[in-house]
Amino acid sequence: MDAIAISRTGLDVEWQRLQVIAQNLANINTSRTASGQPFHPLRLLSGPQVDFKHLVRAGDKTPGGVEVLGVEPMAAGTRRVYEPGHPHADADGFVTYPDVDHASEMTLLIKTSRAYEANLTAMSIAQQMYSRAAELGKQA
């Protein structure tokens, strides 16, 4: 088992998740994207590189890391704000924005940053263990 490689996959996934969350937060008040379409908040889907059933059936005792399975639009609705002077306002003066819950996104941002930190710590501990094992091997 290569603990450093496993932690590295976790770092990669959590970094990509942070980017998706940042994109959602940055576009909280975006009425249209560059293509002219409304912005849809996204969620990153992740999971194990090898599913548990495969590990058990194959008798392989070496777990893999995690990977990004995809990025999907959230089922969030829209919110309408009365802004009659806005260039994207409809005939009634309302502008449609994505219904991104700022508090939920910030909570997920903190949770994801903690998972990233946990992977960094695990990687650091694994490096210390490998280093100590090498030192013990030299003494023997």
Average pLDDT, integer, range 53-67: 76
Closest Cα partner for 47 from 17, 3, 73, 2? 17
DSSP letter for 30, please: -
* pLDDT surpasses 70 at 28: yes
pLDDT of residue 56: 73
pLDDT of residue 59: 67
How do the residues of the chain divide into helix, strand and coil, expressed in percent and rounded to 5? Answer: 50, 20, 35
Asked which of 16-20, 74-78, 79-83 is least confident by mean pLDDT, the reply is 74-78
Whole-angstrom Cα Rg for the chain:
22
Q: Mind giving me the DSSP string for 87-112?
A: TT--TTSEEEEE---HHHHHHHHHHH
User: Tokens 């998740």 label which residue?
Assistant: 17
DSSP letter for 11, please: H
Q: What is the mean pLDDT of the chain?
A: 91
Question: Which residue has better confidence, 57 or 28?
Answer: 28
pLDDT of residue 101: 93
**Residues ≥6 apart with Cβ < 8 Å to 133:** none
- Res. 61 pLDDT band, cuts 50 70 90: low
Chain segment 85-121, per-residue pLDDT in tens? 999 999 999 999 999 999 999 999 999 999 999 999 9
